[in-house]
Amino acid sequence: MNKALAHLLKLSPPATADIDAFIERSVFPLVDGEKITFVYRGSADAVFLRCWISGLDTAQPLQLLDDTDLWAVTIELPEGSRIEYKLEVERDGHRELILDPLNDILAHDPFGANSVCQGAGYRRPQWSLYDPDARPGRLETRRIASKSFGDTREFQVYLPARFRRNRRYPLLIVHDGIDYLHFADLKIVLDNLIHRLEIPQMIVALVQSPDRLVEYSGDDRHATFIGAELLPSMNELYPLQDDPGARGLMGASFGGVASLHAAWRYPELFGCLFLQSGSFAFSDLGRHKRGPVFDPVVEFVNEFRERPGCPADKIYMSCGIYESLIYENRSLIPRLQQQGIEVRFEEARDAHNWENWRDRQRNGLSWLFPGPVWMVYE
Amino acid sequence: MPKRLLLGPQRPIRNLGEAIEHSGFPTGQMAVISAGWQEAEGDIDDVRELVQRPLVDLQLYSRAESMFSTDSSLRQAYRERQDQLKELQSLYQMRLRQLTLAARQTLRAKGSKEMIAAELRHAVSQLRSLDRHHLNRVQTINNEFDERYTFQQYEPLAEQHAAIAKQLDDCESVIITGGNVVILLNRLRMFGTHLQVQNKHLIAWSAGCMALSDRVVLFHDRLPQGRRDPELLGPGTCLLPNYIFLPDARHRLHTTDKIRTGLFSHRFAPAECVTLDSGAQLLFDDGELQRSELARRMTVDGNLERIHPG
């Protein structure tokens, strides 16, 4: 048990004022090296830690501590880890998922928010925080009539702070781009990395699908939209470098599938891929067990593994080791390398979430699109 | 040779004004070459405040940008040259990686000292041979470009050269700032400005110092992806030859790694590899070192030692 908590419980029974003081002076969850203690205070019939990470039980019960209204559970988490979680509180037969009332650190995603446990040694990267010295780029909203989808798609375009019409820029197309802005601070990261000269000034198209589980699952309509509609349109609208090495696709989860699929359908168009926690489910034999939404993904990934071709020259992949997709991601690496593709793979002590994807952006972007820091001596 | 004052980065220690004051430079207007700052060229209020004299920026970067926007043949030829150099550099990198690894492993090898020393000499000579080859190849590509677009022959460049000469007439000293060393070198060569300033007193920092030498070496051990082996970019302007200047080495290099530092020194000998951290300065007068503060020389055994005049 955590030392501070054990010390409190020695005051048997601890007075309410003692518990109040303990809560007041502690930072939750309690991090003691690799041991993390989650604490809940209040009346309940049962309390569970829910953290949806591979390797741990989905729901771990907290124990009511003797003569108190405190509940606690301790888990082991390697240094540098970061996990997202909720508490599930059961009262009168009803269960409710709540954010940890004792922890102010939250991570947001399209479904709401989670509490964040930062294990020993985890630090949010400095380059992901707003830097007043970094000149901000700007976002423009654009629309494109898509024959492939039979509708009009809105997307945003990031232009670097010193954008000039008479220069040529690399292009990165980001799936779930608006989510990347909101939940992975992509604009701040781009501003900072450009300011630090770690990536070149670049143009970034941020696309968002109204039906990502279908369109990002290996859907040819989407590949056509990216390769035959959006890219030519971007070429007309902006001064872009005419070189596959200066064109990239990026995406996380199903967005990773969509990126790989589009590059595979349009080989030689995109030289760089940044695939984060790609949902690269496949089946060697029999049916997969990930549910019907993965059927088209598995169909594509199986076909890709059979005939990968050369979708890009450089691929940066990242995946959390606490997500079940780590197996699929690891499996893909040798297949890509066999094709002569230069692949870098980063494993993180994190799970399938936007802050994991945020924290990997510097390594991925600066490797795929190295900036001029090498040539600048201020 | 007139005076050459070399400084480290002007952040956090801004010693430009003080160093000029103590170096006996003529009073009066100075020219500034801030092309390495690219779009921020000419943003020299801070410099003016430090040196306390009238300044005129030669605008080499914007002159070239302006020419590129109106002269498509020059722009096209320039881009082709840059593409060629880029391709050459990546081929050089590929070969360099293998040779550097071999040399470093030889340096770390255990066994007969004599045998290792002989192998190391050969490993370093291979590196030096590759560097020489690369330098010649870069020079050949530059010469091919210059045959068509040199300020002596191509009228639009000659006009700019003359305009710059006129500005320089009023200046006995020229300040060359830091910034992007590739851009800086390209612009100096494009207008022949390196030849125009050779008889002026020169004050330079960071990239400005690197450009003065006969060879320019790019280096950075702390890139997002980790270390990268030092690369020869190509020839410099030869305004202060036989040195390899290493600005901000404290932040950019793992100078405590004696294997790397020793190899660096071996590879570029007989040139002196000199670190210039913020606050450092070197003053040369008539080619002789007159003053040295905080600058360090890399030794073949991988140490950094102070440089003494004389």
Adjacent-strand bridge partners of B180? A376
Task: State how far residue A72 is from chain B, nearest Cα, in angstroms.
Answer: 40
pLDDT at A55 over 90: no
Residue B141 C-beta-side C-alpha neighbours within 13 Å? 22
* pLDDT tier for residue A10 given thresholds of 50, 70 and 90: confident
| Residues in CB range of A6: below 8 A, 6 or more apart | none
Q: In this complex, is the C-beta atom of B68 within 8 Å of any C-beta atom belonging to chain A?
A: yes
Rg (CA), chain A: 23
Q: Which candidate in B87, B180, B220 is best for mutational testing of the A interface (most A CBs within 10 A)?
A: B180
* pLDDT tier for residue B13 given thresholds of 50, 70 and 90: very high
According to the model, what pLDDT value does residue A13 have? 84
Please answer whether residues B206 and B8 qualify as being in contact, where contact means their C-beta atoms are separated by less than 8 angstroms.
Answer: yes
Model confidence pLDDT, tens digit, residues A289-343: 889 999 999 999 999 999 999 999 999 999 999 999 999 999 999 999 999 999 9
Adjacent-strand bridge partners of A276? A252, A318
* pLDDT tier for residue A166 given thresholds of 50, 70 and 90: confident
- The one-character DSSP state at A201 is -
Look at A126-130, A136-140, B4-8, B37-41 and tell me which has the smallest mean pLDDT. Answer: B37-41
Q: Which candidate in A135, A164, A377 is best for mutational testing of the B interface (most B CBs within 10 A)?
A: A377
Tokens of B117: 């020393």
Q: In angstroms, rounded to a whole number, what is the distance separating the alpha carbons of residues A144 and B22?
A: 63
- Report the mean per-residue pLDDT for chain A: 95
Q: In this complex, is the C-beta atom of B13 within 8 Å of any C-beta atom belonging to chain A?
A: no
Please answer whether residues A203 and A238 qualify as being in contact, where contact means their C-beta atoms are separated by less than 8 angstroms.
Answer: yes
Residue A255 C-beta-side C-alpha neighbours within 13 Å? 28
Check A166 against B39: CB less than 8 A apart.
no
According to the model, what pLDDT value does residue A94 have? 96
Tokens of B139: 């020079």
**Nearest chain B residue (CA) to A362:** B224
Q: How far apart, in Å, are the Cα atoms of B79 and each of A244, A280, B86, B87, B152?
A: 17, 40, 10, 12, 20
Q: In this complex, is the C-beta atom of B65 within 8 Å of any C-beta atom belonging to chain A?
A: yes
**Closest-CA residue to B261 (of B289, B221, B294, B295):** B221
According to the model, what pLDDT value does residue A11 have? 84
| CB < 8 Å from B in window 116-155 of A | none
* pLDDT tier for residue A58 given thresholds of 50, 70 and 90: confident
Q: In this complex, is the C-beta atom of B94 within 8 Å of any C-beta atom belonging to chain A?
A: no
Please answer whether residues A117 and A79 qualify as being in contact, where contact means their C-beta atoms are separated by less than 8 angstroms.
Answer: no
Check A366 against B181: CB less than 8 A apart.
no
Q: What distance, in Å, lies between the first and last C-alpha atoms of chain B? A: 16
H helix or E strand, kind and range, residue A205: strand A203-207
pLDDT at A91 over 80: yes
Chain A residues inside the 8 Å CB shell of B228: 374
Peptide bond into A13 cis (omega under 30): yes
According to the model, what pLDDT value does residue A90 have? 97
**Nearest chain B residue (CA) to A372:** B180
Q: In angstroms, rounded to a whole number, what is the distance separating the alpha carbons of residues B280 and A356?
A: 41
Q: In this complex, is the C-beta atom of B85 within 8 Å of any C-beta atom belonging to chain A?
A: no
Q: Which candidate in B72, B220, B221 is best for mutational testing of the A interface (most A CBs within 10 A)?
A: B220
According to the model, what pLDDT value does residue A126 have? 97
* pLDDT tier for residue A54 given thresholds of 50, 70 and 90: confident
Q: In this complex, is the C-beta atom of A360 within 8 Å of any C-beta atom belonging to chain B?
A: no
Q: In this complex, is the C-beta atom of A239 within 8 Å of any C-beta atom belonging to chain B?
A: no
Check A376 against B180: CB less than 8 A apart.
yes
**Closest-CA residue to A250 (of A168, A169, A363):** A363
Which of B68, B179, B233 lies nearest to residue A376, judging by beta carbons? B179
pLDDT at B74 over 90: yes
Check A375 against B247: CB less than 8 A apart.
no
According to the model, what pLDDT value does residue A287 have? 85
According to the model, what pLDDT value does residue A352 have? 95
pTM value is: 0.87
- Report the mean per-residue pLDDT for chain B: 96
Residue at A108: amino acid letter: H
DSSP assignment of A49-62 equals EE---TTS-SEEEE
Q: What distance, in Å, lies between the first and last C-alpha atoms of chain A? A: 52
pLDDT at B39 over 90: no
Task: State how far residue B193 is from chain A, nearest Cα, in angstroms.
Answer: 20
Check A378 against B210: CB less than 8 A apart.
no
Q: In this complex, is the C-beta atom of A241 within 8 Å of any C-beta atom belonging to chain B?
A: no
| Residues in CB range of A31: below 8 A, 6 or more apart | A117, A118, A119, A120
| Residues in CB range of A151: below 8 A, 6 or more apart | A145
Peptide bond into A239 cis (omega under 30): no
Chain B residues inside the 8 Å CB shell of A366: 223-225
Q: Average pLDDT in the B277-282 region?
A: 97
Please answer whether residues A81 and A119 qualify as being in contact, where contact means their C-beta atoms are separated by less than 8 angstroms.
Answer: yes
- Order of strands, sheet of B4-7, starting from the edge strand that comes earlier in the sequence: B55-57, B30-33, B173-176, B201-205, B4-7, B281-285, B288-293
A:B CB pairs within 8 Å: 53
Task: State how far residue A372 is from chain B, nearest Cα, in angstroms.
Answer: 8
Q: Taking each helix axis from N to C terminus, what angle separates B72-108 and B258-268, rounded to the nearest 10 degrees?
A: 120
Which of B65, B179, B220 lies nearest to residue A373, judging by beta carbons? B220
Q: Where are the alpha helices (DSSP H) in chain B?
A: 16-21, 45-51, 60-70, 72-108, 113-148, 155-169, 181-190, 193-196, 207-212, 249-252, 258-268
According to the model, what pLDDT value does residue A23 have? 95
Residue written as tokens 């990502």? A212
pLDDT at A133 over 80: yes
Check A374 against B220: CB less than 8 A apart.
yes
Q: Average pLDDT in the A82-100 region?
A: 96
pLDDT at A212 over 90: yes
Model confidence pLDDT, tens digit, residues A355-371: 999 999 999 999 999 99
Which of A366, A372, A377 lies nearest to residue B206, judging by beta carbons? A377
According to the model, what pLDDT value does residue B107 have? 87
Counting residues of chain B whose pLDDT is more than 70, the rounded percentage is: 100
Please answer whether residues B252 and B224 qualify as being in contact, where contact means their C-beta atoms are separated by less than 8 angstroms.
Answer: no
Tokens of B236: 């410099």
Model confidence pLDDT, tens digit, residues B223-267: 998 889 999 999 999 999 999 999 999 999 999 999 899 999 999
Q: In angstroms, rounded to a whole number, what is the distance separating the alpha carbons of residues B304 and B87?
A: 34
Q: In this complex, is the C-beta atom of A111 within 8 Å of any C-beta atom belonging to chain B?
A: no
Model confidence pLDDT, tens digit, residues B183-194: 999 999 999 999
Which of A162, A166, A373 lies nearest to residue B223, judging by beta carbons? A373
Q: In angstroms, rounded to a whole number, what is the distance separating the alpha carbons of residues A70 and B14?
A: 58
What is residue A230's three-state secondary structure?
Answer: helix
Q: In angstroms, rounded to a whole number, what is the distance separating the alpha carbons of residues B35 and A152?
A: 44
